[in-house]
Amino acid sequence: MLFHPPSPPMFDQFYQQASDQLKLSFLNTILEQDEQLKEQFINFYLKPKDKQLVLTVSDPDDFILASKDLIVEALETIVFNEPDWANYLPRHNGYIPDYEAMEHMAEDEIGRIIGLHIAEVERYCSIKHFDLAFLYMISIYKACLEAEIEDDYGSVPDPLQTMLQEFENHLQSCLPIFKAIQIPEDQLFTIATVLFDQHTELDAKDSHFLLFFEACLYSLIHSGSEASILLDVIEGKNKATHLSWLYTELHRKTGGIESYEKAALNYYQSSGHVALDLLDLYKSTDSNKFRDIAKKLWINGLFRHECAEMYFEVLNPNEDPNLYLEVTLYLIKMNFSKKYYKIIKELMTEDDRMIFLKSLQNDHPAYITALCMEGKYGEAHKHALHHTNRWNIIETMTPCLEHDPEQAIVTLAQKVEELLLDERGRNFYARVATILKIAKDIPAIQNQTEVLINRIVYANGLLSALKGELRVAGVI
């Protein structure tokens, strides 16, 4: 007997009787077989939902204004002209000038006042009034812009920057709270909408306003649906250019790597954070794309400080030697390193290197190291003899000892004995002990170094501190 499937009118009956597990199994089967249905599902998932503002207060502008006035009043009551020396706690040991101490006290007091109001933000979170928490943070930001602090002595060179910095520091303490809460979707929609509307009211002149809240907004996102809500509001309010990192990360959460990559390619030149993340993606997935992005950023002078070390580690010098040389020269000017100079030797002609060397002459350790790497030991020893002092003796003499130890021990002996005639102090003695230990560990000059050590001890027998440091270093 043949089985005849039930007619379509019976669908409702069967569908109602089917378990959720059976329905889900059927849906997965159909989706796997139909690419068009998959696309329809994605569009349905990403479709903006019709949402209404859900506010704890009837007028958010009034709440922000009233709170801002309260915070401004608190900030303007700070009196910097009467420093509280009795309760001052130094930030570090050693001598601190009065002006620096007064600046520290001023910063601490500003931080204390803002901290009291950050506590109000945390209280709103504890009672699940998340919209009020963000409205209050907006109030704090606006109060920092408006407060006029009385400071006749100039204790705070830039009051606005100091207030905003203290506010930003305190915001970091709120991130674990935001990450821990599960905010209702309508509240998330409300917070984002009000925040972006406040930015629009500032005529978008303040480029830092939204960036202050970028990490806070991101910490609220725990799912793709939440990311989709925030993404819709950002696009609807045209705020992607102001929050390019957040925008690209939301695409990552809603559409995966492909969606993130597409968004990041539009914004990597406007955000160092986005540029670094995109480069980090390409360095392990597509070396050609990495090189193209790196070259474009470098030519446009963008984010060199943030990205140069990554370029040096990832790029292949054989594929674009000119770019690699530029990156290396940039890095070596910031912080001389033997690994950088080794590349310069490979990519730059000798004549050009000699011209470049002259630019290092005032950085004595760097200049001496480069001379040694060029095999110009005589010039290196001569420079070390004239420019070694109590502070740089380790840095200037180490390359000489490593490259030409027999001559270096002669130079070292002359400099150490010369400096010990006038210089004193445990810090200096510790440096002397360190460089002597380096010399003693070089087999070719071990005997000469021991002779020098004995001579130093004999000539400076009354300097017990010197002997102490030599013992600590394992020299005697």
In a domain, 10, yes or no: no
Among 10-19, 222-231, 397-406, whose mean pLDDT is lowest?
10-19
Domain endpoint, select from 203, 220, 237: 220
From residue 208, give the alpha-carbon distance in Å to each of 157, 165, 211, 245. 20, 12, 5, 14
pLDDT of residue 387: 96
- Is the confidence at residue 447, as pLDDT, over 50? yes
From residue 20, give the alpha-carbon distance in Å to each of 23, 290, 461. 5, 46, 91
The 10s digit of each residue's pLDDT in 323-334 is 999 999 999 999
Task: Kindly provide the residue ranges of all beta strands, DSSP E only, lying in 226-287, ordered along the sequence.
Answer: none
Closest residue by Cα to residue 324 from 336, 338, 314, 337: 314
For the segment 391-415, the average pLDDT, to the nearest whole number, is 96
* Domain residue limits at 66: 51-90+97-220
For the segment 258-266, the average pLDDT, to the nearest whole number, is 96
For the segment 344-366, the average pLDDT, to the nearest whole number, is 95
CB neighbours (10 Å) of residue 428? 19
In a domain, 331, yes or no: no
- Is the confidence at residue 203, as pLDDT, over 80? no
In a domain, 102, yes or no: yes
DSSP state at residue 155: S
The 10s digit of each residue's pLDDT in 122-144 is 999 999 999 999 999 999 999 99
For the segment 328-354, the average pLDDT, to the nearest whole number, is 96
Among 2-6, 386-390, 393-397, whose mean pLDDT is lowest?
2-6
- Is the confidence at residue 202, as pLDDT, over 80? no
Mean pLDDT for the chain overall = 89
What single string gives the DSSP state of each residue in 180-237? Answer: H----HHHHHHHHHHHHHHHHHTTT--TTHHHHHHHHHHHT--SHHHHHHHHHHHHHT
pLDDT-derived band at 92, boundaries 50, 70, 90: confident
The 10s digit of each residue's pLDDT in 143-157 is 999 999 877 767 788
- Is the confidence at residue 47, as pLDDT, over 90? no
- Is the confidence at residue 7, as pLDDT, over 60? no
Pairwise pLDDT comparison (317 vs 44), residue with the higher score = 317
pLDDT of residue 25: 77
| Domains in the chain, number | 2
In a domain, 278, yes or no: no
Q: Is 3 helix (H, G, I), strand (E, B) or coil?
A: coil
pLDDT-derived band at 5, boundaries 50, 70, 90: low
In a domain, 4, yes or no: no
- Is the confidence at residue 280, as pLDDT, over 60? yes
How many whole angstroms separate alpha carbon 233 and alpha carbon 188? 10
- Is the confidence at residue 201, as pLDDT, over 50? yes
From residue 382, give the alpha-carbon distance in Å to each of 388, 391, 415. 10, 18, 12
Domain endpoint, select from 220, 246, 276: 220
Pairwise pLDDT comparison (187 vs 5), residue with the higher score = 187
- Is the confidence at residue 1, as pLDDT, over 50? no
- Is the confidence at residue 90, as pLDDT, over 90? no
pLDDT of residue 133: 95
In a domain, 328, yes or no: no
CB neighbours (10 Å) of residue 352? 12
The 10s digit of each residue's pLDDT in 454-473 is 999 988 878 889 999 999 99
pLDDT-derived band at 258, boundaries 50, 70, 90: very high
In a domain, 56, yes or no: yes
Provide CB contacts within 8 A for 373, sequence distance 6+: 338, 341, 342, 345, 399, 403
- Is the confidence at residue 49, as pLDDT, over 60? no
pLDDT-derived band at 168, boundaries 50, 70, 90: very high
- Is the confidence at residue 259, as pLDDT, over 50? yes
**Does the reported pTM lie above 0.95?**
no
In a domain, 73, yes or no: yes
pLDDT-derived band at 51, boundaries 50, 70, 90: low
Domain endpoint, select from 198, 220, 242: 220
pLDDT of residue 156: 81
pLDDT-derived band at 444, boundaries 50, 70, 90: very high
